Structure 1
Amino acid sequence: MRLLVVEDNASLVANLFDYFEARGHTLDAAPDGATGLHLATHQVYDVVILDWMLPRMPGREVLRRLRIERPVQPVIMLTARDELADKVAGFRAGADDYLTKPFALPELEVRLEALLARSGKRGRDRVLEMHGLRLDLRTLEAHRDGQLLHLYPTCRKLLETLMQASPAAVSREHLEHVLWADSPPDGNLLRSHVYELRRSVDGPFAVKLIHTLPRVGYRLALLGKNSEAPADVQNRGEQTTPRVG
């Protein structure tokens, strides 16, 4: 299993790493909610182990935002809050399981294995495929027509978002939120990342898949030679031919 531990107790994190790494699992750790959310939405994990009380962003808020970006990501809440109302709130926020502290490491292991088994049906959603384009969210490899695409992590995240929405358009604002949450950089960095993504996905191929909708955003779709942009875009009187950035 590849696990993400979002926990600010360094001693507990060390115990989890010692126990699970000895059993052949791979772990990443985040000491606060904001870092945990960033990792959970930019990397692929079998299960996220999420504390409730965290610096910078509480666990429930991390979970709420994670459910928007990764609806099927398995999450187990690991917390000292053991009241029934807390457990109900955790499950209603989107947790798949809830384990209270203190706990036995073998019990956590069994719960993780059971959660992963239950989510096996979701595993099919971890490979996105369309128009000869394939993105494996488990191995983080992308191919087009069998050719391996070399993508930076940011470009891979953009590709995942566009493929999940396809053929619908994705707004610039949403893409910026996916990449940088509530702190997008100044300037036009998104345009640069889309340009790099196009170089990998479309550059070597005759048929282009990534298209610009002026003043709207981008979409990934297979368009015919004479295909036109949606009427609401055309009516703005702008160029509708896909262009870089």
Structure 2
Amino acid sequence: MYRTLSKILVSLALALGLSITFATTSGSAQAAPTPAAAAADCSAEQSALADAKAKKAATKKKLKQARIAKNRAVKALKRAKASHNRAKIAKLTKRVKTLKRKVNRLERQLANRNRAVQAAKAVYDECANGGITGDSPIQALCDAGLPQAICDALAGGIPGGGLPTDISLDMFCDAVPANPLCDALAGGGGLPGLPELPGGGLPTDPAILLDLLAPILGGGLPGFPEIPGLPELPGLPLP
């Protein structure tokens, strides 16, 4: 369950263009994996990373071929113009436009593939390093990519408040047991409202990712849409 939440957080961070780090607490050096973490089964994450890399390589190859074809067509068009061959000029002009559109499309696709590889690698690294557990501080959620304002609000939402680096997820759930995230932890099940994601894939649209997070973090957190800082994030709609 924590792994699924971490995937959402990482994907949200990448979709918003946020930086991603994985640490136990902010500002501290990352601890060495525990024996249990070292033995964690990350085969699914490793497979997803390999698949993302393969798709990136395939797209990169297609882009290279499209660029070569476009350059050849541009040169042929120049020769046709030099010889005033109207028939060839018309044909090659159309071909150059088509190839330019193809190159632009593949460039956008390659950028998406790069982001997918980054997200898959972050999820794999997070799994290999033990993941987020109930003993982890709330700050671990934001170290995994969630906007810092949310961790600050979660930590401040318990009686007496506190710092995200000092309050663990278990401590938060002891104080606010009605939160949907805590309900999921207590039951050992999945996250409420989270659909099955075939092949471990996640959407990259920030709005969709926020829709997945809203019932989890918003249920026990009054004023969730008003958390300071969220409206300033690029492309981030309010839940």
TM-score range, shorter chain: under 0.3
TM-score, with length taken from structure 1: 0.23
Using the size of structure 2 for normalisation, the TM-score is 0.24
- Which protein has greater RCO, CA pairs closer than 8 Å, 6+ apart? 2
